[in-house]
Amino acid sequence: MLFNLRILLNKAALRNGHSFAVRNYRCGQPLQNKVQLKGRDLLTLKNFTGEEIKYMLWLSADLKFRIKQKGEYLPLLQGKSLGMIFEKRSTRTRLSTETGFALLGGHPCFLTTQDIHLGVNESLMDTARVLSSMTDAVLARVYKQSDLDILAKEASIPIINGLSDLYHPIQILADYLTLQEHYGSLKGLTLSWIGDGNNILHSIMMSAAKFGMHLQVATPKGYEPDPSITKLAEQYAKENGTKLSLMNDPLEAARGGNALITDTWISMGQEEEKKKRLQAFQGYQVTMKTAEVAASDWTFLHCLPRKPEEVDDEVFYSPRSLVFPEAENRKWTIMAVMVSLLTDYSPQLQKPKF
């Protein structure tokens, strides 16, 4: 029966001009996979062990290889739908989620502030219950982490954080996949963060030590990461034998760093602070002068969109810049998140070295 179904799907694919083939995607390597994430929420990487995060990256690499390199058709999410709640606009989060979910055979439903008002026309509790009855998962890009917490508490389906004021976990998965592809392993790398103590940094702080990566952070005074998150990150560093350094000197944070990382200085909702922030962040632009003190194999990451005051063109468009592979990997990592939370699929690709 399954064999006949694959034949029919292959014929349908060829009629539509596709050259890929449908495989028995249920096989994989279940004996090697002891990680079970099905049915869980992804609100912050704080809630995941190092092995669980590595598994999502392994699955990302597997899907990327099978679909992009081998041209296979894997309808792992066929018959499933995704609710996408976006209070904040986005290019990469929307495109990666919509195209990725659809590529796996699912149906993404994009909902803006014009379509759904979280906690305004309908309570968060009621919204969570309605979406749970009509979709298989929800990705929400919101202003407040507390809204995600309420959605997760009230929903009976997985809730995925597409960005909040505190965390941006799906971005960090793409960052780590990009670094793993480039360096071959993550353990022992030094990440140098130069910029705002924001949601991106918080997500790095909740996960880097779990891979054995060191983290050197430079933020202007008054723009440090959340103290409670810093305290937990210090605990992670101690448990994993890594170094966590927080300072106000960009060059010192870049010293010996393998990956130089920055982000916007002015997030959505902080526009009124623009003048004040631009003044506070003077001297924090990533340039070749910054790179001079970094490791000889330094690379550069930025989650985009980028502004010239954050990083100059010489670094941003240099061969050392991984920003565009990083952007593409948003797609493969969010696909892996959806597959791991909604299916029993196991990767067939040999597990990468982390």
Query: What is the spatial order of strands in the sheet that 159-163 belongs to?
Result: 107-112, 81-86, 137-141, 159-163
Cβ atoms of 333 and 62 within 8 Å: the answer is: no
CB half-sphere exposure, 194, CA atoms < 13 A: 30
Please tell me the distance from the alpha carbon of residue 103 to that of residue 74, in angstroms, as a whole number: 8
Candidates 246, 291, 303, 335; catalytic one:
303
Phi-psi region at 283: left, alpha or beta (left = phi > 0; alpha = psi -120 to 50)? left
Strands 107-112 and 159-163: unpaired
SS3 274: helix
Q: How far apart are CA 287 and CA 136, in angstroms?
A: 44
- Which burial class, exposed, middle or buried, applies to 310 when counting CB atoms under 10 A from its CB (0-12, 13-18, 19+)? buried
- Single-letter amino acid, residue 31: L
Q: How far from the centroid of its chain's Cα atoms is residue 61's Cα?
A: 14
Give the three-class secondary structure for 7.
helix
User: For residues 55 and 62, what is the distance between their CA atoms, to the nearest angstrom?
Assistant: 10
3-state helix, strand, coil in the chain (%, to 5): 45, 15, 40
Altogether, the residues listed in the chain come to a count of: 354
The neighbouring-strand residues paired with 161 are 140
Burial (0-12, 13-18, 19+ Cβ within 10 Å), 75: middle
Residue 303 known to be catalytic: yes
Contact 341, 189 (CB under 8 A): no
Q: Which residues are marked as active site?
A: 303
